Amino acid sequence: MKLFFLLLAGVASTVLAADGTGLKAGDPAKGQQIVAAVCSACHNTDGNSVISTNPKLAGQQPEYLLKQMKDFKGDGGKPARINPVMNAMIAAYNEEQMRDIAAYLSEQKPKGGKAKNYETIEFGRKIYRAGDQARGLPACAGCHGPAGAGIPGLFPRIAGQFPEYTEAQLKSFRAGDNSRTNDPNMMMRMVTHGMSNVVIRAVSDYIAGLH
204 in the same domain as 117: yes
Of 50, 75, 107, the position where a domain reaches its end is 107
91 in the same domain as 130: no
Residue 20: pLDDT over 90: no
Q: What is the pLDDT of residues 155-204, one digit of tens each?
A: 999 999 999 999 999 999 999 998 999 999 999 999 999 999 999 999 99
pTM score of the predicted model? 0.89
Banded model confidence at residue 112, pLDDT cuts 50, 70, 90: confident
Q: What is the pLDDT of residue 75?
A: 85
Over residues 89-93, mean pLDDT: 97
Residue 119: pLDDT over 70: yes
Count of beta carbons in the 10 Å neighbourhood of residue 156: 20
Q: What is the pLDDT of residues 30-64, one digit of tens each?
A: 999 999 999 999 999 999 999 999 999 999 999 99
**For residues 184 and 10, is the Cβ–Cβ distance under 8 A?**
yes
**For residues 82 and 180, is the Cβ–Cβ distance under 8 A?**
no
53-66 burial code (b ≥16 CB/10 A, e <16) = ebbbbbbbbbbbbb
Question: Would you say residue 203 lies in a domain?
Answer: yes
Q: What is the pLDDT of residues 131-166, one digit of tens each?
A: 999 999 999 999 999 999 999 999 999 999 999 999
Q: What is the pLDDT of residue 10?
A: 45
84 in the same domain as 118: no
Question: Would you say residue 166 lies in a domain?
Answer: yes
Number of domains present in the structure of the chain: 2
Q: What is the pLDDT of residue 110?
A: 97
Of 79, 107, 135, the position where a domain reaches its end is 107
CATH number at residue 186: 1.10.760.10
Q: What is the pLDDT of residue 23?
A: 59
Percent of the chain with pLDDT over 90: 85
Expressed as residue numbers, the domain containing 33 is 20-107
**Cα 17 from Cα 137, distance rounded (Å):** 27
129 in the same domain as 82: no
103 in the same domain as 117: no
Q: What is the pLDDT of residue 9?
A: 42
End-to-end CA distance of the chain: 27
**Cα 101 from Cα 75, distance rounded (Å):** 18
